[in-house]
């Protein structure tokens, strides 16, 4: 296989990590909404935790994106 082609295929595969980030972000917002509808009074206090969880889940997916960019532009 051409090294250039292998590089591009590898970068594409690395982007699959973003699927996990999508699942994680959906899970966090879905559960927050479910909890907020059950107990709206407590929802506001948990908003910072929601943002923290969102950022933590998104970051793991972005690690995969960094791998893809390293494959494309650094190696």
Partner 1 sequence: MAAENGHGAEGGLGVDPMHQFEITTIIPLEFGGIDASFTNSALWMVISAALITGLTVFGMSGRAMVPGRLQSVAELSYEFVANMIRDNVGSEGQRYFPFIFTLFMFVLFSNMVGMIPYSFTVTSHIIVTFGLAMVIFLGVTVIGFAKHGLRFFEFFVPKGIPVVLVPLLVVIEVISYLTRPVSLSVRLFANMMAGHTMLKVFAGFVVAFVGAGGALTGLAIGPLAFMVAFTGLEILVAFLQAYVFAILTCIYLNDALHMH
List interacting residues with partner 1 (CB under 8 A): 48, 51-52, 54-56, 58-59, 62-63, 65-66, 69, 73
Q: Which is nearer to partner 1, 43 or 69 (CB)?
A: 69
H or E element that contains 16: none
* Cα gap 40→62, rounded to integer Å: 32
User: In the bound complex, what is the minimum distance in angstroms from residue 64's beta carbon to partner 1?
Assistant: 9
Give backbone dihedrals phi and psi of 34, rounded to 5 degrees, phi first: -60, -45
User: In the bound complex, what is the minimum distance in angstroms from residue 29's beta carbon to partner 1?
Assistant: 13
């Amino acid at each position: 296989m051409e090294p250039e082609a292998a590089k591009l295929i590898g970068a594409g595969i690395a982007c699959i990590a973003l699927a996990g980030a999508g699942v994680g972000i959906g899970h966090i917002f879905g559960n927050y909404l479910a909890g907020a509808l059950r107990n709206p009074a407590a929802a506001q206090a948990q908003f910072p935790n929601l943002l923290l969880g969102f950022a933590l889940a998104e970051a793991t997916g972005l690690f995969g994106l960094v791998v893809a960019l390293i494959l494309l532009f650094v190696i």
